Each structure stands twice: as structure tokens, then as C-alpha cells.
Amino acid sequence: MRSKLAPLATLAVAALGLGLAGCAAGGSGDGDTTKIVLGTWRTEDAAMWENDIIPAFEQSHPGITVEYAPVDTNDYNAAIQSQIEGGTGPDVIMCRPFDVNRSWIEQGYFDSLAELDAISTFPESALTAWEGDDGTPYCVPVASVLAGFYYNTAIFDELGLEVPTTQAEFIDVLDAIKEDGTYTPLALGSADGWQLAYNMLYQVGPNAWHGEDGRLGLIDGTKKLTDPDFVEGFRVFDSFKDYLPKGYESISYEDMTQLFTLGQAAILPDGSWQISQVTSTGLDVGVFGAPPAAAGDQRYQQEMADMAFGLNAAGKQKEAATEFLEWLGTPEFQQLYVNKLPGFFSMGSEPVSYDDPLAQEFADLKEGAELTSRLALDRLSAGQPPLDDEIWRVAQLMYNSGLSPEEATAELQKGLDSWYTPAG
């Protein structure tokens, strides 16, 4: 018996020894370089960071090496929270916009960045998503995303259509495509609630509720969702449901993109992050923003603060991490970043040029428009029921079960009233 087990035991001990040796080798770094770790949820950008951006930083900052450590976006919040509580958090932490970040600030996860030079290169509006209640900046903005209506220029030419400049013209365009019957007017399904909210309601609604006026009004309690402006925004959203493909109730986000890229639909409401996808089949695609109700009215454009980086208050390499954060404010980084990742836009004051023509077209939508954030992500979703999740659900009910704009807004306001006390 003993003789049979002996080789196995030796093998086990050897394997264990090798493993330990491996750990030891991995653990000891050389003395003169400092390693900082970036915590992020952008798993899909790992190659871009590792091949282009981090080398650019390391070249100009000898002595610092950067490790990109992504966590799947769904688990990111919980992962960061448990890492920081356990004292193993990354040196530089990617910041979620608004409520999640505000709770992280309150927990003391971040150091204030008020002293950072990079902060002054951003306009105040770019910083709000990551500020503390007293207006102290805690994160350096990296990128925002925009929402728009992609359109197939070949279909528009074939049917002799023009890009609409008012809401009424928009409906006329959709009617014309529907009447022709060859193409689906609007590539939109209601299977994914977030899609209805983020790319439709929060895109067409701000023209009715006057963007930030309405959004901040809800937050400070001077406005209610049942006010005529908001009901009107929901009504405009509702008016698009006559132009959807058959069986739209179970058409998911991926299906819509596919319907559009196969050239079977004329218009796709979507975010700028889809630029590469939408043009992947070689379609000639243009983009327009949600048109205002009447010609000459102020136009509102959804710009969603998406990514920023903050400094871990318990980090061990704060000096190197601060150097990295300073670098994020430089045009060098921003030019590199937005062109490696078409569909994401710099939030800095300095103009940045975009190599991708569609990205440039998207960036041009910001011209002459008031920028506004997604309606319900700031403060209004920090309790039960979270307004944002409720809007997903109610938007689906409006499209699937005929809930009216009045009923929808009344239900949402009731849910909000059950827990929210205005920030005042």
C-alpha cells in the first residue's frame, strides 16, 4: 500500500512546491518601478488599453507600470465594494456616474481631486456626475456617450426623404416609410427595457421637459413627473410605437441592430457606442438627434457621462496614481482614447478631432444643443423602487400593454413619492 501511494505523494508535494515557487516569483517585483492597478468594468477594452494607451503612458512616465484589471460590468460594483472593504482595492478606480459614485464617496473610498490640475481642463457640467454633495470633484472624466437616431442614407435617398428637423416632420418621415412598405420604419423592440428608456424616452423626452431644467426640477422637488411637460415627453415617446417591426415585444437589442445593419430598417435609435457595429456591414449611415417640437425651439441632446477615474483613498501608490490621473486630462490621452474607441467622446474643454466620420457627425450633434443627462440616474434611483428601473418597466408596459402617458407618469410619481425626499 505504502509503495503505491509514495509516487503520488511525491508528485503532490512537488506540485505544491512548484505552485508556491510560482507565487513567490510572481509576487516580487523589481525595486525601481512602481506598479499601479486600474480597476474598471470595461472588459471589452482590455486589448486597447494594454496595447495602445498604457504603453503611451508608460513611455512618457518611466518608472511606473500600469496593470489593467477589468471586472465584468454586472459584478463591478459589488467587486469594488468588497475589494475596498477588504483592503485590496485597485489604486485607480473607475467611477460609476451619479448615485453609485456618491455612495462610494460617502463611504470614503476616494481622495478629493480638488488639487489636481487635470480637473481644471474640464467644464463644470462634465464633472457633476462624480462630485460629492458639496461640489468637490472626486473623479477625472474620461468619456461620455451620446444618443442619436442612425439612419440608412440609401433608404432615405430611395424614398426621397430628408432628415427631420421637427417632431412632426419626424412622424411624416416614419409615415412615408411605413406607407412604402419595403422597410421597417424604426428598428426598435421592447424586449429590453433599458433600451426603451435610454435610447428612446431619454432621447426624445428632454425636448418636452427642457433637458436639465426638468431633470434637476425632479431632483429638487419643484417638478413632478405628472406635470404637463413630462406627460408630453412620455406622449412623444408613445407616438413611435406605430412604426415598430412585427412582434416587437420580444425583439431584443441585438435583433434591432441586426435588422438595421441588414438594411431592412430605415432608422435605429441607439447610443454612440454602437458606431462600429452599425457600420460593420458597410452601410452608409448618418445620424440625427431628436428634433424639437417646432422649428426654432431649443434642441436638447442626451449626453451621458460614462467613465471617469478616481483615486483609492487606501491605495499604496498614490503618487504614481496621481500622475496617471493628471495624464488623463491631457489632450494626448483624450485624442488617443476617443479615436481608438469610436463612439466615446471626450468631455474636456479642448476640442478633439475624430477620425471616424460618423463619430464626428455625432460630436457635431452637440453643437447648438443643450446637453442633458439620462433622466433618472441621479439621486432618483437610490431608493426602492429605483425610478430608472421603474421607467424601464413602465416604458415596456406603454409599448406592450397600452399604458397611457398619464397613467405611466402617475404610477412613476407615486413610486418616487413613496421614498424620495427632494434634495432641496
Partner 1 sequence: MIRTGTRYRMLALFVAPALVVYVAFAVYPLLSSVGMSFFDSGGGESTFVGFGNYVELFTNPTTSERFWNALVNNVEFFLIHLLVELPIGLLIAALLTSGRLRRSVGVYRTLLFIPATLSVVIVGFLWRLIINPLWGIVEFPLLGNEATALPTISLMSVWQYLGIPMVFLYTALLAIPDDVVEASRIDGAGAWTIFWRIKFPLIAPQFGLITILTYIWTFNGFDIVYALNGSAPGPNYSTDILGTFFYRSFFGSSGQVADLDLGATVASVIFAIILVTTAAYFWVLQRRLKTYEL
Residues that bind partner 1 (CB under 8 A): 74-75, 77-78, 81, 98-100, 103, 106-108, 189-194, 245-252, 255, 258-259, 376-377, 381-382, 384-386, 388-389, 392-393, 396-397, 400-401, 415, 418
For partner 1, the closer CB: 193 or 217: 193
Shortest distance, position 394 Cβ to partner 1, whole Å: 9
For partner 1, the closer CB: 369 or 412: 412
For partner 1, the closer CB: 326 or 378: 378
Taking residue 250's Cβ as centre, other Cβ atoms within 10 Å add up to: 10
b/e sequence 39-71, b meaning 16+ C-beta within 10 Å: bbbbeebeebbeeebbeebeeebeebbbebebb
For partner 1, the closer CB: 294 or 423: 423
CA dihedral (72, 77, 83, 86) positive or negative: negative
Q: What is the CA radius of gyration of the chain?
A: 25
Shortest distance, position 260 Cβ to partner 1, whole Å: 12
* Residue 307 grid coordinates: 467613465
How far apart, in whole angstroms, are the C-alpha atoms of residue 130 and residue 370? 20
DSSP-based three-state secondary structure for 107: coil
Residue among 117, 100, 39 at smallest CA distance from 328: 117
Shortest distance, position 370 Cβ to partner 1, whole Å: 22
For partner 1, the closer CB: 57 or 260: 260
CA 326 to chain centre: 23
Shortest distance, position 331 Cβ to partner 1, whole Å: 31
Do 146 and 304 touch, CB atoms closer than 8 A? yes
Shortest distance, position 262 Cβ to partner 1, whole Å: 10
How far apart, in whole angstroms, are the C-alpha atoms of residue 308 and residue 296? 35
CA dihedral (67, 72, 73, 76) positive or negative: negative
Shortest distance, position 182 Cβ to partner 1, whole Å: 16
How far apart, in whole angstroms, are the C-alpha atoms of residue 196 and residue 209? 17
Shortest distance, position 251 Cβ to partner 1, whole Å: 6
Residue among 362, 379, 361, 334 at smallest CA distance from 141: 334
Shortest distance, position 100 Cβ to partner 1, whole Å: 5
How far apart, in whole angstroms, are the C-alpha atoms of residue 324 and residue 123? 20
For partner 1, the closer CB: 249 or 332: 249
How far apart, in whole angstroms, are the C-alpha atoms of residue 20 and residue 29? 16
For partner 1, the closer CB: 155 or 187: 187
For partner 1, the closer CB: 42 or 299: 42
